[in-house]
Structure 1
Amino acid sequence: MDSPHFSTKERILGAAEELFARNGFAGASLRELTAAAKVNLAAVNYHFGSKDNLVNEVFRRRLDELSTQRLDALARVLAQPRVTLEDLLAAFIHPALALSIDTSGGATFMRVLARAYAEHNERLRRFLSDNYGHVLKEFANAFGAQLPHLDKEELYWRIDIIAGALTYAMADFGVIKRSSSMSEQAHRERAAEHLIRFAAAGLRA
């Protein structure tokens, strides 16, 4: 059983994730957060110290694991005798797919991640770059080895666009909606397959 200390912190993080997905980072107030999490302001301050730190921890809770899964998948691909662009893209995309169908708030977090792309919050962007930029660099190196015709700037432009498209697709913002006969997992897997094909073509162009 979780300790009260742990459960209170997790409850605050879960409520914050929902509020940030719905209202954005600036638009979500601590008053709304305390009401949603059923805690007082002192509990938020005790566990996180500030709203900025709370935002960081919402991302850290998901992205630490996502980054590990991506790097592990990348290592498995690079250990194969023959490496394809599609395999590298799958290592980048499938862990995000798994997160997006996680029943403990994964889809909500993908919308939070989309907010981070959309809002011009330099402090948050710096936090994400400082803590998770190394993952993108590892994939960029692997992509670059497959794409010697691209210079570094062009390669990063294309990876940036792919990362944005991935977040958009996994947050389920697209115009193609899931049919009633298809499970959410099957719908997201189909989105991932389309994205891998599209991204591979874009990278090779």
Structure 2
Amino acid sequence: MAAATPFSTKDRILGAAEELFALHGFASTSLRQVTTRADVNIAAVNYHFGSKENLVNEVFRRRMDVMTAARLSQLETALQQAPGKLEPILAAFVEPALAMAQDGQGGGAFVRVIARAYAEKNDNLRKFLSEHYGHVLREFGKAIAGCLPELSKEALYWRLDFLAGALTYAMADFGLIKRPAHVAEAAHRERAARELIRFAEAGLRAGSVES
């Protein structure tokens, strides 16, 4: 049997770390557990990642880079093909995230990792995510502001926070609405996206609350 390539070793480590972070959280998962799950030695982890902190970051980067590219590409298309329309902008934010969550190659585990990131206080991870992906929210904020010029920046970012929270909840599939056995995953995801987009558009268009 051919020897594992460096890429496959790195990918096995990332997959094992993602599963363990989803199960136990970041603080409670040791590098020894990761190496055992990935069937590699500690030298391989040090070679590819250097530290546990970098490993955590790379688990996010592996998924977030793909999702970010899809979001920004869809946003660019929305702005070009439907200028001034809010729904396509919201679709560009929601649909790639739900697609990632339904990815059979570990998407569900990564959603649980996201939940861990919300629950655990990890300042280094939050700084990493802000530095590498904060621009995505700003791009969507700018696009939405162009559709809703009457909405203050403060109100806009409150509502974007609420949308991001609702999206994370939908990604985790924790809600009251479960996929019926006769409905395909793709159809269920499309329905979830439509309902969330409709809900978000109504919330964003609602009158501002006086401070």
Q: Same fold (TM over 0.5)?
A: yes
Are 1:85 and 1:143, in contact at CA under 8 Å, matched by a contact in 2?
Answer: yes
Q: Distance in 2 between matches of 1:7 and 1:159?
A: 37
Q: Distance in 1 between matches of 2:44 and 2:165?
A: 35
User: How many residues are matched?
Assistant: 205
Alignment of 1:144-159 (within 5 A): 144-159=145-160
Q: CA deviation at 1:3?
A: 5.5
Structure 1 partner of 2:69? 68
Alignment of 1:47-196 (within 5 A): 47-196=48-197
**1:2–1:167 Cα change, 3 Å:** farther
Q: Distance in 2 between matches of 1:45 and 1:64?
A: 22
Q: Distance in 2 between matches of 1:103 and 1:75?
A: 27
**1:147–1:13 Cα change, 3 Å:** same
Root mean square deviation, CA, Å: 1.6
Q: Tell me, yes or no, if structure 1 residue 18 matches structure 2 residue 19.
A: yes
Structure 2 partner of 1:35? 36
Secondary structure of the residue that 1:167 maps to in structure 2?
Answer: helix
Q: Distance in 2 between matches of 1:17 and 1:129?
A: 20
Secondary structure of the residue that 2:150 maps to in structure 1?
Answer: coil
Secondary structure of the residue that 1:182 maps to in structure 2?
Answer: coil
Secondary structure of the residue that 2:81 maps to in structure 1?
Answer: coil
Normalising to structure 2: TM-score of the pair? 0.91
Are 2:82 and 2:88, in contact at CA under 8 Å, matched by a contact in 1?
Answer: no
Are 1:9 and 1:47, in contact at CA under 8 Å, matched by a contact in 2?
Answer: yes
Q: Deviations for 1:129-168, whole angstroms, at most 9, x for unmatched residues? A: 1001111100000111111222111111110111111111
Are 1:90 and 1:196, in contact at CA under 8 Å, matched by a contact in 2?
Answer: yes
**1:171–1:13 Cα change, 3 Å:** same
Q: CA deviation at 1:175?
A: 2.9
Secondary structure of the residue that 2:24 maps to in structure 1?
Answer: helix
Please tell me the residue identity of whatever aligns with 1:197: R
Q: Distance in 2 between matches of 1:2 and 1:201?
A: 55
Q: Deviations for 1:162-187, whole angstroms, at most 9, x for unmatched residues? A: 11111111122223222211122222
For structure 1, which segment, 33-42 or 131-140, has the greater mean C-alpha deviation from structure 2 after superposition?
Answer: 33-42
Normalising to structure 1: TM-score of the pair? 0.94
Question: Which runs of 5 or more structure 1 residues have no equivalent in the other structure?
Answer: none
Q: CA deviation at 1:81?
A: 4.8
Q: Spell out structure 1 runs of 4+ moving beyond 3 A.
A: none
Are 1:19 and 1:33, in contact at CA under 8 Å, matched by a contact in 2?
Answer: yes
Structure 2 partner of 1:5? 6
Q: Deviations for 1:34-85, whole angstroms, at most 9, x for unmatched residues? A: 1111112121111111110000101111111111111111110110254321
Q: Deviations for 1:14-39, whole angstroms, at most 9, x for unmatched residues? A: 01111111111112222221111111
Q: Distance in 2 between matches of 1:55 and 1:91?
A: 26
Please tell me the residue identity of whatever aligns with 1:129: S
Question: Which runs of 5 or more structure 2 residues have no equivalent in the other structure?
Answer: 207-211
